[in-house]
């Protein structure tokens, strides 16, 4: 069975037009209709066996109405309830505070972004996922006969998305996704170690993606922990892409939102054009990169996306804005000038757009290094592959305190053993300010905040403390 019906996009666009026509007939002059429909198949793995196969779909329409700088939002799943949703959005708008200068954006030509849709994913069915799951379970056993896939699964999805506005924006498109996640455990001699790794892509993944071997490696590496004395001193910490991205995604995207900078709710507020991170680091948000997970021709308001350089050679040069956030901060007198940077995001048709990142890239002007050379450069310190509690990090100050059970001790550039558990604390802004070395392999990671993080392994030489249990 084809995952996505051939007429899915056409039906959404037709529904948007029906709702838009109804708004016009009711005398509503400024409106925005978004729509999405997603379908998927999923296979769960538990205890080394396939435990569940499921599939389904979900979708609907969102309506934003603007009236004299006020806005209201409502959503519906059934086109027949359009009148009720329109009435609700209009009622909310009339009770909301007015934002001087807030209007819906006008149509602008957008360049298409390739690599977001893979027909071979659409043609995958539950049987295909079952076959892939069997191959992954067998591969784990072949890599280490003690290892078992104790959790995880495989999923594919396809989505149709559309937007139509009273200002002439009319667009739609199809996207696909293929994801694999595995929790690999090794239990032997009364000792249990495990590791979670995942991969996802807009195009079809290899039958056995690289995350499978990484999960087995880390389940092996963290066995037989050694005793390490606690220290109150700062430590050098090499964080893998998987370990670094959860903290990075909580703290850094928040710090570069224009609204947060204007409200003094970012640790980089008041530092525009100043050096804020190591002088060789760059931070770029770019939704126009082909095949990236959060790419697209238009943002959540229909404005063409673009490459936004936020930090260049260590200096803060830009920020991320949606139309409403920019208008609000100007109206409230916090800034003189701001405009959308094509950075409006939505969590789905049920939510109005807000400012956020798409594909956030951390890069360096200096030489990048492989894992072994990063260990040599560190000398003494720790390697952290995952953290627990990243969502508790303070996005305003950059402070964090998390725990990890996937941590290795390094002395004289060599891994001497694993640590059973440790606390990791520090300040992300200070840690990025100096003595930062980046790895040469970038793996896209999910985010606690918005968008996708494209970060390599990162060696941080200051502002971190490790407290082994």
Residue 245 confidence (pLDDT): 97
Q: Output the pTM of the full model.
A: 0.96
Residues 6+ apart with CB under 8 A from 340: 105, 299, 301, 303, 321, 322, 323, 326
Domains of the chain: 8-221 (3.30.2290.10), 237-468 (no CATH)
Residue 374 confidence (pLDDT): 98
Residues 6+ apart with CB under 8 A from 93: 65, 66, 67, 70, 71, 72
Average pLDDT, the chain: 96
User: Which H or E run contains 163?
Assistant: strand 147-165
Residue 389 confidence (pLDDT): 96
DSSP assignment string, 433-461? SSSEEEEEEEEEE--SSSSEEEEEEEEE-
Pair type for strands 452-460 and 359-364: parallel
Residue 469 confidence (pLDDT): 85
Span 107-125, mean pLDDT?
96
> What does the pLDDT look like over 325-344, one tens digit per residue?
999 999 999 999 999 999 99
- The SS3 call for residue 50 is strand
> What does the pLDDT look like over 307-320, one tens digit per residue?
999 999 999 999 99
pLDDT band at 2 (very low <50, low <70, confident <90, very high): confident
Residue 367 confidence (pLDDT): 97
> What does the pLDDT look like over 131-156, one tens digit per residue?
999 999 999 999 999 999 999 999 99
Closest CA to 267 of 326, 316, 340: 316
> What does the pLDDT look like over 30-85, one tens digit per residue?
999 999 999 999 999 999 999 988 888 999 999 999 999 999 999 999 999 999 99
> What does the pLDDT look like over 19-28, one tens digit per residue?
999 999 999 9
> What does the pLDDT look like over 249-303, one tens digit per residue?
999 999 999 999 999 999 999 999 999 999 999 999 999 999 999 999 999 999 9
Q: What percent of the chain has pLDDT over 70?
A: 100
Span 221-241, mean pLDDT?
92
The alpha-helical segments, DSSP class H, found in 164-272 are 210-221, 241-255, 258-262
User: Whole-angstrom Cα distance, residue 432 to residue 384?
Assistant: 16
pLDDT band at 1 (very low <50, low <70, confident <90, very high): low
């Amino acid at each position: 069975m084809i995952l996505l019906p051939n007429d899915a996009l056409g039906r959404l666009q037709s529904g948007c037009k029906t709702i838009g026509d109804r708004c016009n007939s009711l005398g509503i002059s400024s409106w925005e209709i978004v729509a999405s429909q997603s379908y998927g198949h999923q296979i769960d793995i538990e205890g080394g066996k396939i435990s569940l196969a499921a599939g389904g779909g979900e979708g609907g329409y969102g309506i934003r109405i603007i009236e004299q700088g006020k806005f209201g939002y409502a959503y519906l799943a059934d086109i027949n309830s359009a009148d009720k949703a329109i009435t609700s959005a209009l009622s909310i708008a009339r009770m909301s505070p007015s934002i001087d200068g807030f209007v819906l954006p006008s149509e602008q030509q957008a360049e298409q972004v390739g690599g977001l849709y893979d027909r071979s994913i659409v043609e995958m069915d539950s049987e295909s996922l079952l076959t892939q799951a069997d191959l992954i379970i067998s591969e784990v056993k072949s890599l280490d006969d003690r290892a078992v896939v104790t959790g995880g699964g495989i999923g594919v999805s396809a989505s149709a998305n559309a937007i139509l506005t009273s200002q002439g924006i009319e667009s739609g498109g199809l996207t696909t996704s293929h994801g694999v996640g595995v929790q690999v455990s090794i239990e032997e001699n009364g000792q249990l170690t495990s590791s979670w790794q995942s991969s996802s892509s807009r195009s079809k993944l290899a039958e056995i993606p690289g995350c499978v071997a990484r999960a087995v490696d880390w389940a092996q590496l963290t066995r037989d922990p050694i005793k390490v004395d606690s220290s109150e001193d700062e430590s050098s910490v090499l964080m893998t892409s998987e370990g670094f991205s959860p903290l990075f995604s909580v703290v850094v995207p928040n710090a570069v939102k224009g609204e947060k900078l204007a409200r003094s709710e970012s640790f980089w507020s008041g530092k525009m054009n100043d050096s804020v991170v190591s002088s060789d680091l760059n931070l770029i948000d770019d939704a126009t990169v082909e095949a990236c997970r959060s790419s697209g021709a238009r943002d959540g308001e229909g404005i063409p996306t673009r490459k936004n350089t936020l930090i260049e050679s260590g200096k803060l040069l830009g920020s991320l804005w949606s139309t409403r956030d920019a208008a609000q901060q100007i109206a409230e007198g916090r800034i003189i000038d701001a405009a959308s940077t094509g950075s409006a995001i939505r969590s789905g048709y049920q939510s109005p757009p807000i400012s956020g990142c798409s594909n956030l890239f951390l890069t360096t002007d200096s030489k990048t290094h492989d894992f072994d050379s990063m260990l040599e450069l560190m000398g003494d310190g720790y390697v952290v592959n995952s953290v627990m509690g990243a969502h508790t990090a303070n996005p305003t100050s950059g402070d964090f305190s998390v725990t990890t059970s996937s941590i290795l001790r390094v002395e004289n550039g060599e891994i001497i053993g694993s640590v059973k558990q440790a606390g990791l604390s520090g300040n992300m802004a200070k840690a990025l300010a100096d003595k930062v070395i980046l790895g040469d392999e970038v793996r896209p990671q999910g985010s606690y905040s918005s968008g996708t993080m494209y970060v390599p392994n990162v060696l941080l030489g200051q502002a971190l403390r490790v407290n082994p249990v």
